[in-house]
Homo-oligomer: A and B are copies of this chain.
């Protein structure tokens, strides 16, 4: 790799929040050169009209997907189901494809069907895709040409639980995880529920049971245990705070959780353990993570009952989507893993 290597990138479906965030990060990435962004709805208009933070940063205009030229990397930011159905169309355009949707995350076609309610269009291709979570699948991502970006809520759950399950610090009992989610997670289209007067002050349980990311988390996490997810909308725009309630074996303590996290994540550039004895910022808080690729993890234990409360905070559009995808690409293409993901986050914010 040369210091000045650049790969061309085309973003398909670039008018949504995931595509827009990938574009923002890619514009600041020294090895990526975004040459095309598509949007059926906004074709012909400058991307900065839709993503006004990019005023003065790019002169790109949206084009239609039908006008797509070849590129080194194709990033698919389409609604659920589109990437899988139009895979042949896209495979001719680039050697490396990153899909931000849920289409290629699940490896078992039966689980896909149970989760999404219809058969997978190309079940025979599922094995070609690597799940885009470098913390768990760094080796598989090296040199990968098909990356299935991880889901945002799933990522917050997986990163909190993985070391503890892997190292046996949790009992195989029910784990209950609640995600407090910002409004950007529902996408860029206005709906009755996203209307500001109905949403600004709301704490809205939108998925008490049956969240689709359950399957994704269970696929990636070691061991067999019932996982229960609940998702609640908050007045924030970005961010997920997940609290997961799990159970430690007799005789285990704080120290075992600490050392499991240290052992597994000690070298991870984007994971921080936040558990501070004083001050006001004692645990992970998505407030501090807007725009960053961090996943902050924390925990607290109830020694009387064996319950451990795990906490996990991310920016759903960065570590939960586009940043995790960039990080995966960095691994796949052999660039330093933090390239383009250096933003520290704001305080106050």
Residues of chain A touching chain B, judged by Cβ–Cβ distance below 8 Å, are: 17, 20, 24, 27-28, 49-57, 174, 176, 178, 180, 182-184, 188-205, 208-210, 226, 228, 230, 232, 234-239, 241, 243, 245, 272, 274, 276, 278-288, 290-291, 294, 296, 298-302, 305, 307, 309, 311, 313, 342-349
Contact = CB atoms under 8 A, between A and B. Distances in A.
B309 A209 contact: yes
Contact of A195 (B28, B189, B230): B189
A344 B349 CA distance: 16
Given A205-B311, A283-B208, A285-B204, A290 B349 contact: yes
A91 to B, nearest CB: 31
A309 to B, nearest CB: 4
B243 A232 contact: yes
Contact of A209 (B300, B344, B346, B347): B300
B236 A285 contact: no
Contacts of A234: 180, 203, 234-235
A296 to B, nearest CB: 8
A200 to B, nearest CB: 5
Contacts of A208: 243, 283, 299-300, 309, 311
A194 B196 contact: yes
A258 to B, nearest CB: 16
B195 A192 contact: no
Contact of A196 (B50, B199, B203, B228): B199
A209 B349 contact: no
Q: How many copies does the complex hold?
A: 4
A347 B58 CA distance: 15
A309 B49 contact: no
A301 B11 CA distance: 38
Contacts of A230: 243, 245, 309
Contact of A228 (B226, B245, B349): B245
Given A180-B180, A228-B307, A305-B228, A201 B349 contact: yes
A278 to B, nearest CB: 8
A82 to B, nearest CB: 22
